[in-house]
Every structure is written in structure tokens, then in C-alpha cells.
């Protein structure tokens, strides 16, 4: 007797996907307790702060460079 298509087993493997997500999470947690975690965290904050102002800082540097070149 054949099984209807709707009752057949799905090809999606939820267990494997959950295992990969758990492994990724465990790896992330293990890295969070490393020796350089606090330094990396601080550098991420600095990078996020500077990234929002990178264009402004570049424009100020160019204007200062032009000003110094004009004075000299």
C-alpha cells in the first residue's frame, strides 16, 4: 500500500539545523570567554563610533591640509 504524498517524510532536517545553530552559539560563547574578549569588545565600540564620523574626519583633514599648504 502506498503512502500519500502529504504523509511522506519531509526532506527537511530540522535536527541538523538545530545542531548547527547550537554549535555556532557554543563557539560564540567560548570566544566570549577568551583572553582578548574585553579588548575586542572595546575596539568594536571605537570602530562603531568612528565609522559614523569617518567622512567628517576625512573632510576636516583635507581642509586642514589645504590650510597648512596655503600658509606654507
CB 37 within 8 A of CB 31: yes
Predicted local confidence at residue 55, as pLDDT: 85
Mean pLDDT within 18-38: 82
Q: Is the pTM for the entire model greater than 0.85?
A: no
Average pLDDT across the chain, whole number: 80
Of residues 44 and 63, the one with the higher pLDDT is 63
Phi and psi based region of residue 2 (left: phi greater than 0; alpha: psi -120 to 50; beta: remaining): beta
Residues recorded for the chain: 72
Mean pLDDT within 26-35: 80
Mean pLDDT within 44-56: 86
Amino acid at each position: 500500500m502506498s503512502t500519500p504524498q502529504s504523509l511522506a517524510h519531509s526532506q527537511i532536517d530540522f535536527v541538523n539545523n538545530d545542531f548547527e545553530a547550537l554549535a555556532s552559539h557554543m563557539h560564540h560563547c567560548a570566544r566570549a570567554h577568551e583572553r582578548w574578549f574585553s579588548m575586542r569588545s572595546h575596539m568594536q565600540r571605537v570602530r562603531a563610533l568612528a565609522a559614523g564620523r569617518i567622512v567628517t574626519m576625512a573632510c576636516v583633514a583635507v581642509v586642514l591640509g589645504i590650510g597648512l599648504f596655503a600658509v606654507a
